[in-house]
Amino acid sequence: MGVLVDRLGTIEYVIAGTSGAISIPELHRKRIHPGRLQGLRLIHTHLDEEGLSFEDLTDMAKLRLDMIYAIAVRENGTPGLAYGAHLLPAEDTSRIWKVLDPVPTFLIDIPFDAFIRELEDEITRKQTSISPEAGEDRAILIVVRSAVNESTRIDTLEFQSLAAAAGITVLDTVVQKRPRPDPKYVVGKGKLSEIYITALAKDANLLIFDQELTPSQARSITSLVDIRAIDRTQLILDIFARRARTREGKIQVELAQLKYSMSRLVGKNPALSRLAGGIGTRGPGETKLEIDRRRAKERIERLEKETRQIGRKRRLTRTRRNRFGIPVISIIGYTNTGKSTLLNSLTRSRVFTADMPFATLDPSSKRLRFPRDLEVIITDTVGFIRDLPDDLKAAFMATLEELRDARLLLEVIDLTDPHLEYRMQAVDEILKGLDIREKPRLKVFNKSDACEKEIAHDLAQRYGGVVVSAHNRNSLVPLIKRMEAFFLDDRDSGFSSSVRE
């Protein structure tokens, strides 16, 4: 049994549970300030002499209860020891609560009103100093791997950079080793509860999982924790939405977002899935959920139609290029390696550039004339990233199809990236998935101005590439000569359609 008592001593809820636990009902109170407590304390019984369980303490933290007490009940029905706990101000984020020493019920001598007032004021002061500003996302990142190794560390660093690119403040990163993700909570219920307690202590308002969440996992997680939870796919979609500038780019991103969210538009109550209205229509009985799903489906159909039109226009453009015999060079590479900067320097253009992932989302095509009166089209494409979400691949297929008609791929590699070979492997896998891995490719090692000369030239020699600094046009002369030789000389010009393993 348990009761929830307000600060005036009025019992607001009476809870009947099982021999092992009670289930606290949904509370209708609303806290006015993030630092305020609920104004209720929970007093419940334990049918043994064990103290407060982790679930008890978690409930206290989640519901922001004033205090919690468990009173042991002996076999003869008399009360045993009382086990109490209360929350702590956010001073030491490793401790969010204090467990009191157990005492007989008649020895509880806490001056409750004064104690709670003072505690709540202190919590409010501390909480205000760390609370996020309006609209600020403060996140805990969660990574689950079957083996924790160097590739895990690299992927985690990239995950953190993606969060930063989305304007998110990363408060903590949790890496868990387990054979396979938990089918319901990814990290397991106990671990997720621990992470949630950390989130409460650090005033985080967002959990981000490195792996894609299934709709059922997303529902299970958000039913257990009282903050938003998203996955890496949603994070990348958010970045793409921020970067899209042209109508074409916005259409492709919105289509990917809608396809991703369609399977997640489900109600908590099975009754919400009922159908109503006439055949082919939705009448007055239609639920909001059904309206959302129908509108999303209609919007997807319209966007897919526009995407097909985009594809037709691109194919027509490619046909015209082929008719006039204008060859195409496509600049590819991992995100944030300097592809757009290279395009700008080669063609004296002003394509938007920034030192952040996916700064360039909308592809650009420019003409480039070589010294020996040869003209080509050079295109910039969206940056690659490991495990690119399938919905994004599908949405950007019209853009990625440009690569199929390219005579030559320039793979831009960031010399300052300590994990450049890991990124090169990821690019290779993506090209393999697009079935263009065997297309002639020249590796362009960029940012030579920020790298030791010997290291840069050793890498270029090992991979048959060329070293440049995209900001320095003078450094591009060897690259221009290699590209020109490829188109003017049918003999071996140093290019290989196979990639070193």
List pLDDT tens digits, range 142-174: 999 999 999 999 999 999 999 998 889 999 999
Domain end: 68, 102, 130, which one?
130
- Give the pLDDT mean for 47-74: 87
pLDDT for residue 266: 57
* Residue 26 and residue 81 in one domain: yes
**Average pLDDT score over residue span 38-58:** 88
One-letter amino acid of 139: A
Phi/psi for 413 (5° steps) reads: -125, 135
Same-domain pairing of 35 and 83:
yes
The reply to whether 357 and 296 lie within a common domain is: no
* Residue 414: per-residue pLDDT: 96
- What pLDDT, on the 0 to 100 scale, is given for residue 399? 64
What is the extent of the structural domain holding 181?
138-239
Last residue of a domain, one of 98, 130, 162: 130
Residue 62 inside a domain? The answer is yes
Reported as a pLDDT band with limits 50, 70 and 90, residue 206 is very high
Quick check: is 388 in a domain?
A: yes
Reading the block at residue 79, the tokens are: 């009360």
Cβ neighbours of residue 220 under 8 Å, at least 6 residues apart?
184, 185
Residue 364 has pLDDT above 50, yes or no: yes
The CA distances from residue 351 to 114, 244, 331, 403, in Å, are 63, 13, 13, 19
Say yes or no: 290 and 343 in one domain. no
Is 497's pLDDT higher than 90?
no
The DSSP bridge partners found for residue 282 are none
3-state helix vs strand vs coil in the chain, percent to 5: 40, 20, 40
- The answer to whether residue 500 sits within a structural domain is no
- In this predicted structure, the answer to whether residue 328 has a pLDDT above a threshold of 80 is yes
| Inter-axis angle of helices 215-224 and 189-202, nearest 10 | 60
The phi, psi pair for 287, rounded to 5°, reads -80, 165
* 397, pLDDT greater than 70: no
Query: What pLDDT, on the 0 to 100 scale, is given for residue 395?
Result: 61
Do 381 and 436 sit in the same domain of this protein?
A: yes
pLDDT of amino acid 322? 72
Average pLDDT, the chain: 83
Same domain, 190 and 207: yes
Q: How far is CA 243 from CA 134, 164, 253, 360, in A?
A: 22, 14, 10, 7
Are both 458 and 476 inside the same structural domain? Answer: yes
Least confident stretch, 109-123, 125-139, 303-317: 125-139
In a domain, 499, yes or no: no
Higher-confidence position of 468 and 384: 468
Region of poorest pLDDT, from 137-141, 144-148, 240-244, 444-448: 240-244
pLDDT over 70 percentage in the chain: 86
The residue to which tokens 């021999």 are assigned: 19
- The rounded distance, in Å, linking the Cα atoms of 500 and 457 is 17
DSSP 8-state assignment for residue 13 = E
- Distance of alpha carbon 153 from alpha carbon 471, whole angstroms: 30
Q: Does one domain contain both 125 and 147?
A: no
pLDDT, position 186 = 96
290 and 331 belong to one structural domain: no
7 and 155 part of one domain: no
Query: Looking at residues 211-221, what average pLDDT do you find?
Result: 91
Tokens of 229: 């939870």
Average pLDDT for residues 339-366, to the nearest whole number? 82
- Residue 396 forms part of a structural domain: yes
Assign 501 a pLDDT band (cuts: 50, 70, 90): very low
pTM score: 0.78
Q: For the chain, how many structural domains are there in total?
A: 4
Four-point Cα dihedral 436, 437, 438, 441, nearest 10: 100
Regarding whether 228 and 259 lie in a shared domain, the answer is: no
Q: Where does the pLDDT of residue 283 fall: very low under 50, low under 70, confident under 90, or very high at 90 and above?
A: very low
pLDDT-based confidence at 27, cuts 50/70/90?
A: confident
Distance CA 346, CA 474 (A): 10
In total, the chain counts a number of residues equal to 501
- Residue 393 belongs to domain with CATH number: 3.40.50.300
pLDDT class for 478, splitting at 50, 70, 90? very high
